[in-house]
Amino acid sequence: MKVNEITNSALGETVFEAKHPSGLTVLVMPKQGYSTSYAAFAARYGSIDNIIMKADSTALSLPAGTAHFLEHKLFESEELNAFERFAKTGASANAYTSFDMTAYVFSCAGHFRESLDILLDFVSKPFFTQETVEKEQGIIGQEIGMYNDDPGWQVFFGLLKLLYPAEPVGIDIAGTPESIAQITAQTLYECYRSYYHPANMALAAVGDVSVQQVLDAVDALPAAREGAQPAKRLFAPDYSKPEAASAEKQLAVSMPRFMLGFKERMSAAQLTAKQSVLSSILLDIIAGKASVLYRDLIAGRLANPGFSSECFSGHGYCVHLFGGDSPDPQAAAQAVREKIASLKSAGIDSANFERSRRNLYGQMIMMYNSTDNLANALVSSHFAGQRLFDEFEACKAVTLDDINQRLEECFDENLSTVSIVSPLSTA
């Protein structure tokens, strides 16, 4: 098995990358002397993956929330569950499901190999029964109910539903009580066989670990299933306009919360590293804490200090978001729109560009001190068809012309909308 060594001299960091005979991509970043090590075992399977193409070319539609449901159930086995096994090594384990990825992770201050063996073992050995599935439906149903009362969650998914009314990215990752009621043990096994194929997965380890230590653990994995092929993810560009200019929902909040979003017309399945970097720089220029807009919103009491922005992107979707609490959400959203229009008209000046570029550059360097951030970034960048150092190198190379061109690409008024969560009516 060939191991590629990828070094970034400016950072003084090295990633070792190998393709295991099973098809699994292995990424190791040794950081000798670190007290904590971290591993992430991930599948290119998230909530947007709602169809399985079968061998006879027919499509099997999956209930919304299946990826998240499967994540919960994989921790169980016929004997001890994974958390009980990790407790014996002193490791702290967790998992998460996003729109386009599911990851199982642990951190530890010792016994790394033993903990890695547990991680690889439980993710590779699914055990589902109809009885345990039905029990989990009640648990996840309660979780969905909690999210229904969460203003941050509701304002975010309210926006996505407006921007992507016909796409799975507009559906809650956990699904709905009705959709998860359709999930069976057979559904989970079908998804596991299709998406948890080694060729559709990646393992990243960062910290006081060695490449050989990780490869030895991977060698103990079950062989890839004979004749099995991982599910393919298709890309269909969505150029549809938002369902409405705004939407409002009432919840038990003391002040309205809003989120303004601009959907980008995707020309490829994923943003490039350069596009991602330019988006981060743009958002800092427009609405970062050192921006004129941020100061004006706070001074004018149109937003509180929690006002923020983000580029939310993944396979087939990209939205630039602005939001926070505001006594007048529409006025705050309009102020953001006017600032963007002003920058488009006048162009971004070199001083603002360089300040924000250097700020992002410094943040990127700081990330290399965090084992968990690095491990998660290793798997997510791999699934995006990139390598860990790509964004760092892009940040050094982007120009003022690049940022002004990206400004034109990202913010189309015809593809923008506002989601609002307002206090319950007293009438």
Nearest alpha carbon to residue 375 among 25, 38, 6: 38
DSSP assignment letter at 312? E
Contacts of residue 118, defined as CB under 8 A and 6 or more positions apart, other chains included, come to: 82, 85, 86, 89, 91, 106
Instruction: Report the distance separating Cα 189 and Cα 380, nearest Å.
Output: 24
Contact (Cβ atoms closer than 8 angstroms) between residue 317 and residue 169: yes
Helix (H, G, I), strand (E, B) or coil at 192: helix
Which burial class, exposed, middle or buried, applies to 375 when counting CB atoms under 10 A from its CB (0-12, 13-18, 19+)? buried
Residue of 17, 71, 76, 136 marked catalytic: 71
Within the chain, what is the greatest distance between any pair of CA atoms? 70
Contact (Cβ atoms closer than 8 angstroms) between residue 246 and residue 419: yes
Would residue 71 show up in a list of annotated catalytic residues for this protein? yes
Q: Are strands 37-43 and 102-108 parallel, antiparallel or unpaired?
A: antiparallel
Q: Are strands 416-423 and 246-251 parallel, antiparallel or unpaired?
A: parallel
What sections of 256-414 are H helices per DSSP? 273-287, 292-299, 329-346, 350-367, 371-383, 390-397, 400-410
Instruction: Report the distance separating Cα 144 and Cα 139, nearest Å.
Output: 9
> Residue 235, Cβ neighbours under 10 Å: how many?
11
> Residue 57, Cβ neighbours under 10 Å: how many?
6
> Residue 35, Cβ neighbours under 10 Å: how many?
10
Instruction: Report the distance separating Cα 39 and Cα 20, nearest Å.
Output: 17
Residues that are catalytic: 71
